Structure 1
C-alpha cells in the first residue's frame, strides 16, 4: 500500500489517496481537493466519505464528474451531501452507494470496510483498507470528534468508543485532521474522553 495525504481548506482536512494493488481510493475530498487529486492518481476507482461534513465532501461532485467515479457515503449522512445543512455554499453531491453500518466492499480483491462509529455525525464511519484505518472525525491523536454539532450525539460517541476499545488488534490510524497515530496509543485517551462525555 502507498499513501498520499494533503490537508485541504481552512480546517486543514486530510484528503487521502490510498493505492493498493494499483487501485487508487480517494478518501474525503475536501475544499479545493480536485486539482491535487487529479495530479496524484493513476487508476482511481472510488471516492470514499468517512462522514458527511462539508469539509470532507466538498469536492465530491467535481471529482466524481471528472473521473467518472462512484461516491460511497454512510447512508445516515447522505442528507448532508445533498442539502448543505450548514449553509457554506458547498456544491451538493449524492452518494451512488449508500453504505450500511459495518458494510464491506470488495474491489477486485481489495477489501474496503466501513466501520460504523456514530456520534460525531449519525453515520460517522472509519474506513479500513489493507490493515490501515482512516478515522475521519471519530478519532484524532489524543482526541475525538466533537459531539456538540447539530446531528451529533454524545451517547452514541460513548458507544462507538466502547466498540473500538473492544478491538484486540492494534491498527494504524489516519485521522481527518492532524497526524497519524495507532489504536494502542489512543486507548487511554479514548477512555478519558468517554468518561468526560
Structure 2
C-alpha cells in the first residue's frame, strides 16, 4: 500500500471518527446572518431551509416554488460545526480531512484558517489539517459555499474575454439559470427540459 493510502486510510479515518456527533450539530447561515438554521451533513441548503420552514410556501416542486425559492441560490451559505480531536489523532505524522462531495464552489476553514477549496462537485478532496487542529473538543469547522450563480457568472466573464462558449443561457421556456457550462456541477441543477432549477449548495457526501 502506498504512503498516501496509508495515511488516508489509517490516519484520516481516526480523525473522522471524531467528526461532529449529535452533541455537536451543524448550523447553516447566510453571509449577513439573516438566516441561521440547523444543518444536515450530508445534505443541502434547500432541504435544510425547507425543514426549518424558512421556505414556507411548501414543497420545492409545488406550483412555482422553483421560482419563489430562487433567491436561495443567489446567497452564499456556510455550514458550521465543531470537531472533537484528541491528542492521539495529532500524534500521527499527517492528519487529513476528506470530503467525498462538496457542492460546489467552497472554501473550508478549520479554527478560522483556510485549509482548502473546492470548485468541482464530482471531485474527492483531501486536505492536510494537522497544523490547524488542536487537542480539544471545540475545533471549529466552517464550510463556506459561494452562490453557484455568482460563481458561474464570474467564470463566464473570465472565459468570454477570449471567446464565448455557447450556450450562454438555456431556452427561456426552461425558466432556468445561465452559465451552467462554466461550473463543474450537476448541469440539471440550473434547469433542463424535464425539470426545474434548484442550484443547490452543500456537503452532498462525506
Higher relative contact order (CA 8 A, sep 6+): 2
Shared fold (TM-score, shorter chain, > 0.5):
no
Question: What's the TM-score bracket when you normalise by the shorter of the two chains?
Answer: under 0.3
Larger CA Rg, structure 1 vs 2:
2
Q: TM-score, normalised by structure 2?
A: 0.22
Larger strand proportion of the pair? 1
